[in-house]
Amino acid sequence: MSYLFSSESVSEGHPDKVADQISDAILDEFLRQDPDSHVACETLVTTGLVVVSGEVESKAFVNLHDIVRTTIDKIGYNKSEYQFDAQCCGIINALHEQSPDILRGVKREGRDGLDKVGAGDQGMMFGYATRETESFMPVGLELANRLLLELAVLRRDANDIPYLRPDSKSQVTIEYGKNHTPSRINSIVLSTQHDPFDQDDALMLEKIRSDIKEILIPRVIDQCPENLRAMFDSEIQYQINPTGKFVIGGPHGDTGLTGRKIIVDTYGGRGAHGGGAFSGKDATKVDRSAAYAVRHIAKNLVAAGVADQVLVQVAYAIGVVEPMSVFVDTYGSSKVKETDSEIARKVMELFDLRPAAIIRDYQLFNPIFSETASYGHMGREPGVKMVDFGIDGEKDERSVETFTWEKLDRVEDIRTAFQL
């Protein structure tokens, strides 16, 4: 029997994502100057105002105001009529030192090497992967992200659809058939902020709906791999700007906070999500770093042929080096003789999940987090970027790897372990 499953995404101009991007840009600057920085940065954005708070332990000196304004301008909030403008918004800095009670658990005195760093908090983290797409991500979230990424390109080009503003949301509902296989797109919901039009609301809405269907959708289809392209058909139900008008948006329309889009950040509601958000946190916070590690594990397990979909859970206690538990669920899709609990034991043998090992293996001491703060932390292509390390005026440019947890670099190890 068929069923429907929906996933949503939001653009970089969504107020919660504005907050995420500011928090991660601040984190990156601390790490650029001092890779040993401990940062837990929370941001609130609203009409004409940014409030940054949190706890930091670092040798770096960060010009917070410049980072905030540069980030907002890059997103596209650079006009006074948006009521949230990179050049004119107020900024309140409420960062303070990290609690020594937390720090003593993270920096374990008398320990060396990989046992020196304890987990920055208790909690459970999940990683998920599925064969539904080439990125091993759920197809609904993949398409929801593709819609908004292409919409952002159209907004910045300002040619084919010149009236777009930064805030937008998408939602894609997928119809699944036998064996939980995605078969087609049932519906697409898309809301995009726009300039006011010199015509009545009905004509404005008709223009937006026409441009989305005739310009955006064909461009997205053209860029999809063949299996996703085949899911678009004439029976798709569209809801485009269903309220009829979306001129007021961004932080002026809705207050934004760091960490409020955790399902967008991970798997669109598939699999599971742990108890913590990601943005603004350095890698000693295992609710971020361990979530990346178990995504890497799940993706490599599926790519190796262990199962068609995999959920991996890991749990920690604050200040403790070794994880409290590792759990694997293959949803009955396993291709190996081992049970799920036996797969979990092999995972513990193959992967080092101590916090310091995760930071080392995925190079999470580098300033690579700003790029994660919109369009998802998972399912992205690994890459390389150049970073000028050290304080201003010092030249120490190096290449650093990004989205390292998306690499398929343990497939052969897994195949050997499971005799595949």
Average pLDDT over all residues of the chain: 93
Cα 397 to its chain centre, rounded Å, is 26
Say yes or no to pLDDT of 99 above 70. no
Say yes or no to pLDDT of 110 above 50. no
d(CA 296, CA 277): 18
**N residues, the chain:** 420
Would you state the pLDDT for residue 102?
A: 59
Q: What is the pLDDT of residues 171-181, one digit of tens each?
A: 999 999 988 89
Q: What is the pLDDT of residues 20-41, one digit of tens each?
A: 999 999 999 999 999 999 999 9
* % residues pLDDT > 70 (the chain): 95
Closest listed residue to residue 166, CA positions, set 377, 374, 372, 368: 374
Q: How many Cα atoms within 13 Å fall on the side-chain side of residue 21?
A: 24
Would you state the pLDDT for residue 388?
A: 85
Residue found under tokens 């332990």: 57
Report residue 360 as tokens. Answer: 């080392």
Q: What is the 3-state secondary structure (H, E, C) of the chain?
A: CCEEEEEEEECCCCHHHHHHHHHHHHHHHHHHHCCCCEEEEEEEEECCEEEEEEEEECCCCCCHHHHHHHHHHHHCCCCHHHCCCCCCCEEEEEEEECCHHHHHHHECCCCCHHHCECCCCCEEEEEEEECCCCCCCCHHHHHHHHHHHHHHHHHHHCCCCCCEEEEEEEEEEEEECHHHCEEEEEEEEEEEEECCCCCCHHHHHHHHHHHHHHHHHHHHHHHCCHHHHCCCCCCCEEEECCCCCCCCCHHHHCCEECCCCHHHHCCCCCCCCCCCCCCCECCCCHHHHHHHHHHHHHHHHHHHCCECEEEEEEEECCCCCCCCEEEEECCCCECCCCCHHHHHHHHHHHCCCCHHHHHHHCCCCCCCCHHHHCCCCCCCCCEEEEEECCCCCCCCEEEEEECHHHCCCCHHHHHHHCCC
Say yes or no to pLDDT of 394 above 90. no
Closest listed residue to residue 179, CA positions, set 142, 130, 212, 221: 130
Q: How would residue 111 be classed by pLDDT, with cut points 50, 70 and 90? A: very low
- Burial of residue 364 (CB within 10 Å: 0-12, 13-18, 19+) is buried
Q: What is the pLDDT of residues 212-237, one digit of tens each?
A: 999 999 999 999 999 999 999 999 99
Say yes or no to pLDDT of 139 above 80. yes
Specify the amino acid at residue 91: I
